[in-house]
Amino acid sequence: MMSGEAVRSLGPWLHAAALSAAKQAQSGGPSNVWTIAAVLVAVVGSAIVAWQAWETHRTTSLSQKALDASAALAIDSARSRLDQDAPRIDVYVEGVSVLSTGLVDMPGPQLEPGARWNLHQDAARSLQVQARVRVRNLMSDRTTHLKVTGLHDPAMHADTEVLLLPQTELSYFLTATFTLSQWAENWESHQAGEPPPNVAEGCVISGDDRDEGVVDRWPLCLAAWPIQPAGDSDGTWQLTEGVAGNDWSDIAMRPLRERSYWISQRRGIPLPDLPEPRVPAVRQAGTGSALWPGNVGSAVAVRVRGAEPPQGLADEREGVVSDHDGDGHGHGGV
């Protein structure tokens, strides 16, 4: 398909061809006139066809852009409507503590600051780091579906699903249970500036009580390095200095919310995503190869895993939209 520049460039060529044909007609007699005329007609016809094809392509491209803009406007309007009716839930981490391990990995009492261990003898001993997570329904007239994964309630019931009544607050715990040798690995990785290999993950999921609505997710990741070498040469480790502060663990106090929009949660029909804008290719100097820039996004210290949609909640794998509302809260309020 010829571009507009290619069609315009045919003008000088057609003019030269016409002059050449006129000269040949004068020197070649009547027999060549019809041949030359036929050639000129074919050339002009090809130019017209190319121009029509270019105009058709341009019109089709404009129509597609208008269609994309209309679809984006409709999707954005639907999202705004669902945002206005979405449940308002607040999720925040209240504190992190180090606990000893009781029977069958049950949380034990909080450790004293002077606790010490010999890593040669106590490498297999378990130690727990626990974060308290609070979930509050900010609405006064609506009940929402609440599900947690990777967390347990004060009665040690894990991965529960409940109805969160209006203006009700529930507490959950995200607990990382590892051996002393694994906590030592976390300390060494932290000292080397690398992510700790042993972390605990969980997620709070709030579902709209309407079929057409939203599903909010708050992924949680607890990383810690609660022990450090005691400074002697006999393999003794102790609680990390400043364990009473927050410089020995890493978890977002206000986890970021991820919101998905649904036409029908019961039938598993998500609201389509907004069309991605077409990014022009960037040419690399000297090679002529096109480099397409990747999506730019902020680094998130959690790994989100898709799962089958739970009963009454939507599938979190589709239509997930990270919500950065800029207020530093990451709560479910709209």
Which residue would you say has higher pLDDT here, 305 or 48?
48
Confidence tier at 71 by pLDDT (50, 70, 90)? confident
279 contacts 296 by C-beta, under 8 angstroms? no
Residue 314 has pLDDT above 50, yes or no: no
Q: Where are the beta strands (DSSP E) in 249-295?
A: 249-250, 257-264, 269-270, 282-283, 290-291
pLDDT number for residue 312: 43
pLDDT by residue (tens digit) across 279-289? 555 544 444 33
Confidence tier at 332 by pLDDT (50, 70, 90)? very low
pLDDT number for residue 168: 96
Confidence tier at 188 by pLDDT (50, 70, 90)? very high
- In DSSP terms, which residues pair with 214 in a beta bridge? 261
Confidence tier at 116 by pLDDT (50, 70, 90)? confident
Residue 136's SS3 state is strand
Residue 14 has pLDDT above 60, yes or no: no
Residue 90 has pLDDT above 80, yes or no: yes
In terms of Cα–Cα distance, which of 177, 99, 172 is closest to 132?
172
Return d(Cα 243, Cα 253) in angstroms, integer.
17
Which residue would you say has higher pLDDT here, 8 or 91?
91
pLDDT number for residue 273: 82
Which residue would you say has higher pLDDT here, 271 or 66?
271
Q: Where are the beta strands (DSSP E) in 180-281?
A: 199-207, 213-224, 227-229, 236-239, 249-250, 257-264, 269-270
pLDDT by residue (tens digit) across 125-145? 999 999 999 999 999 999 999
Which residue would you say has higher pLDDT here, 230 or 50?
230
Please report, to the nearest 10 degrees, the dihedral formed by the alpha carbons of residues 13, 19, 23, 28 taken in order: 60
Residue 81 has pLDDT above 70, yes or no: yes
pLDDT number for residue 26: 55
pTM of structure: 0.64
pLDDT number for residue 20: 61
